Amino acid sequence: MDGTKPKVAIVGRPNVGKSTLFNRLLGRRLAIVKDEPGITRDRLHSTCEWAGREFILIDTGGLQPAASEGLAHAVEKQARLAIAEADLIVFLVDGKSGLTPADSEVADLLRRSNKPVLVAVNKVDNVKQEGRALEFYRLGLGDPFPLSALNGLNTGDLLDKIVALLPDKGTAPQETEALRVAIIGRPNVGKSSLVNAILGAERVVVSPVPGTTRDAVDTPFSFQGQALVLVDTAGLRRGARVREAAEHYSALRTRRAIADAHIAVLVLDGPEGVREQDQRIAGYAHEAGRGLIVVVNKWDLMKLSPPALKEYTEVLRARLSFCLYAPLLFLSALTGRHVNRLLETILEVKTAQNHVLPSANLAALLADLLAFSPPPQVHGRSTRLHELKQTGIRPPRFALVAGDPEAVHFSYLRRVENRIREAYPYTGTPIQVVAVRRERK
């Protein structure tokens, strides 16, 4: 996903099927869909391809022009931002409900945007119902296009129309892989505020209501020449507290966002410290082999003396002892303090994830280890160690070649890992060391 691709925004009042259409056009279930208004709150971006053309498809929350405050106003603001950045707008209306005053208000807003608009009439489930689209001529935005996002009726034809209206390709620069950074943590610790602080603009909905973010929201940007995608995720509660279906799917999206990311930024609530759920969330990133940075947010509220800060840090590290490799940053999303340092650390972690130790260094490391700390016997069995080699990156992976891999205790593998980190710290990334059998020649 990058800024060279044209953008197509799906807009409309709440509960007309925007997320269902978004998923249908993408050909996969990305946005959360539930028969309840207000499920989509942020705008979602994803690359869509049709007939050899790629474009960025944007799903938005429901437009409610009458909303003047609170969460509804924040969602409305995100939809307006999507309209501003789009090259083409798909205005989705509900064929079953018919034309409403709210549709007319949205149409007035779209006319003022001076953007090309396609009126798509949803919930037309078969050819016999296509007459439902006729009353939407009254919007004055051109020919209404009947379709069913649920069963796919006419959605291919809609994609044909979208591609035909896209701006010319032009000459786009060569696309490079963007670094995906997932912002993870419990609800209401300031994840969306941190995303906004990084971007310097309100690109995602921020609200003091826990659980405001439900989808994992991708936001592309660049820093020091590096293309990045920030993924703002829903807060993960304990399983027993995940009661509603939308929250359940939010948790699944967050787990998938971690799996798809290169680096995860775990946001902690500074005054609350590390909770059990924070440990669990950090464990998800650690087990997935992702880069990890621990951020203590709301530091502007903390007034700790040097001894108290030392104790606070020691307790935090002890509770996250399985990921001591993760950099620890204290910042304030509200004031912007140390946010730039977080971006610099993300680039440092990327470098570490891709670092390859020279074979000569690994050979010297193993020789030194064997000289001072040969492997102990396991159940009376011992083995000869032949070689230590690096087998992969992101995360860095190493193979300890042994005559009998089962005779290498896991504690010895941990010792090898520690010696590798002495040779190169691999900041912010787990490393994997496994014992493998020597191949017969």
Q: How far apart are CA 345 and CA 329, in angstroms?
A: 9
Gap between the Cα atoms of 326 and 349, Å rounded: 9
Residue 53's region, left for phi above 0, alpha for psi from -120 to 50, else beta, is beta
The domain defined by 359-437 folds into GMP Synthetase; Chain A, domain 3 (3.30.300)
What residues are paired with 434 via a beta bridge? 399
Q: What is the pLDDT along the chain (441 residues), one digit of tens a residue?
A: 445 689 999 999 888 999 899 988 988 655 444 444 443 444 577 888 888 888 989 888 778 765 544 445 555 666 777 788 889 999 999 999 999 999 998 898 888 888 899 999 999 988 888 888 999 999 999 999 999 999 999 999 999 999 999 987 654 444 457 899 999 998 889 998 998 899 885 544 444 444 444 455 678 888 888 888 888 887 666 555 545 544 555 566 677 788 889 999 999 999 999 999 899 899 989 998 999 999 999 999 998 999 999 999 999 999 999 999 999 999 999 999 999 999 999 999 999 999 999 999 999 999 999 998 888 877 777 788 999 999 999 999 999 999 889 888 899 999 999 999 999 999 999 999 999 988 765
The residue behind tokens 């609350």 is: 272
CATH superfamily for 7-165 is P-loop containing nucleotide triphosphate hydrolases (3.40.50.300)
Q: What CA–CA distance (Å, rounded) separates 228 from 181?
A: 7
CATH class belonging to 179-353: alpha beta
CA 148 to chain centre: 29
d(CA 150, CA 145): 15
- Which of 280, 260, 259, 278 shows the shortest CA–CA distance to 269? 278
What's the chain's Rg over C-alpha atoms?
Answer: 26
Q: How far apart (Å, rounded) are the C-alpha atoms in residues 248 and 241?
A: 10
User: Which SS3 state, helix, strand or coil, does residue 253 take?
Assistant: helix
Asked whether 428 and 291 are in contact (CB, 8 A), the reply is yes
Distance CA 382, CA 181 (A): 43
Where are the chain's structural domains?
7-165, 179-353, 359-437
Q: Do domains 7-165 and 179-353 have the same CATH topology?
A: yes
Structure token pair of residue 188:
């209401």
The Cβ-side half-sphere exposure at 333, using a 13 Å CA radius, reads 24
- The DSSP string of 344-401 is HHHHHHHHHHT----HHHHHHHHHHHHHH-PPPPBTTB---EEEEEEEETTTTEEEEE
Strands 88-94 and 53-59, by their bridges, are unpaired
Could you tell me which of 203, 189, 422, 432 has the C-alpha nearest to residue 294? 189
Kindly state the tokens that stand for 184: 């993870």
| Contact status, residue 263 vs residue 428, Cβ threshold 8 Å | yes
To which residue do tokens 């591609």 refer?
Answer: 163
| Overall residue count recorded for the chain in this entry | 441
